[in-house]
Amino acid sequence: MTVQDAVYQRLRDALMAGSFDPGQVLTIASLAERFGTSNMPVREALRRLGAEKALELAQNGSARVPAVTVARLEDLARARVAVEGLAAELGAPRLTARDITGLEAIVAEQRSIGRDRDVYDLMAKNYDFHFTIYRASGSEVLLQLIETLWLRFGPYMRLLQTSVEPLIRSGEIEASGQHGAVLAALKDGNFGRVRASIVHDITWTADILQRFCPDS
What's the total number of domains in the chain? 2
DSSP 95: -
Return the minimum-mean-pLDDT range out of 40-44, 118-122, 198-202: 118-122
Last residue of a domain, one of 25, 46, 64: 64
Q: What are phi and psi of 94, to 5 degrees?
A: -100, 0
Domain boundary among 12, 29, 64: 64
User: Are 38 and 133 within one domain?
Assistant: no
The pLDDT, as a whole number, for residue 114 is 62
In this prediction, residue 77 carries a pLDDT of 97
Residues facing 26 on adjacent strands: 63
Query: pTM for this structure?
Result: 0.90
Domain extent for 94: 70-210
pLDDT per position as a tens digit, 154-167: 999 988 888 877 77
Q: What is the mean pLDDT of residues 97-120?
A: 83
Same domain flag for 193 and 123: yes
Poorest-pLDDT segment among 62-71, 103-112, 132-141, 194-203: 103-112
- Taking the C-alpha atoms of residue 199 and residue 128, their distance in angstroms, rounded to an integer, is 17
Q: Give the CA dihedral 184, 189, 191, 196, nearest 10 degrees.
A: -20
**Residue 215 in domain:** no
- CATH of residue 50: 1.10.10.10
pLDDT in tens, 18-62: 889 999 999 999 999 999 999 999 999 999 999 999 999 998 888
Query: Are residues 47 and 14 in contact, defined by beta-carbon separation less than 8 angstroms?
Result: no
In a domain, 216, yes or no: no
Domain shared by 161 and 75, yes or no: yes
Domain match, 55 and 82 both: no
Within 10 angstroms of residue 18's Cβ, the number of other Cβ atoms is 22
Residue 113 has pLDDT above 90, yes or no: no
Is there a contact between 185 and 193 (Cβ–Cβ < 8 Å)? yes
Does 199 fall in a domain?
A: yes
What pLDDT is attached to residue 187?
94
Kindly state whether residues 36 and 77 are assigned to the same domain: no
Q: Do 183 and 94 fall within a single domain?
A: yes
The CATH number that applies at residue 191 is 1.20.120.530
Query: Rounded to whole angstroms, how far apart are CA atoms 133 and 6?
Result: 26
For residue 120, is pLDDT > 80?
no
